Structures are given as structure tokens and as C-alpha cells.
């Protein structure tokens, strides 16, 4: 059984909330995120070692979804 946390980040004037299955070592696996305001995406399996890495990978995911001008 995994423990889950919502990690909140701010990028490009928006809030990104990620649902993370924790690994017990400071990282985990992102399985969904929501951009506020904006879309959400679930069914993900993005492994991250830290919240800093999660912020970088989420920004890249949102850029793929919405383009570089999001």
C-alpha cells in the first residue's frame, strides 16, 4: 500500500497540483496532475527522486500538452 501526497508547485503564473505515491525516500511516482486554471492528466507513472525533480518534470509534461507558451 502506498502513501499519497499532493505536491503543489507554481509555474508560469499557474498552480500545478501533483498526486504522488511516495517511495519512503523523499521521492515517489507522479500518477496525476492538475493545472489550475487548466487541464488535468491522470494515468501517469513519472518517477521522481525529489520535489525539485517533480517540478521540472511536470513543467516539461505541461509544455508537451499545451505548448511552450502556456
Read off the pLDDT of each residue in 52-68 and give the average, rounded to a whole number. 93
Answer yes or no: is pLDDT of 59 > 90: yes
Indicate if the pLDDT at residue 69 is higher than 90.
no
Q: How far apart are the first and last CA of the chain?
A: 35
Residue 46 lies in domain: 4-66
- Does residue 37 have a cis peptide bond before it, meaning omega lies within 30 degrees of 0? yes
Please give the model's pTM, rounded to 2 decimal places.
Answer: 0.87
Strand arrangement, sheet containing 4-11:
4-11, 14-22, 28-36, 40-48
Domain count across the chain: 1
* 26's grid cell: 523523499
The rounded distance, in Å, linking the Cα atoms of 11 and 69 is 12
Q: In the predicted model, is pLDDT for residue 1 greater than 70?
A: no
Q: Residues 2-44: pLDDT tens digits?
A: 799 999 999 888 999 999 999 989 999 999 999 999 899 999 9
Amino acid at each position: 500500500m502506498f502513501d499519497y501526497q499532493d505536491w503543489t508547485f507554481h509555474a508560469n503564473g499557474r498552480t500545478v497540483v501533483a498526486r504522488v505515491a511516495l517511495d519512503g525516500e523523499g521521492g515517489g511516482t507522479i500518477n496525476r496532475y492538475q493545472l489550475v486554471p487548466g487541464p488535468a492528466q491522470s494515468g501517469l507513472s513519472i518517477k521522481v527522486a525529489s520535489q525539485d525533480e517533480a517540478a521540472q518534470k511536470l513543467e516539461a509534461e505541461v509544455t508537451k500538452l499545451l505548448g511552450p507558451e502556456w
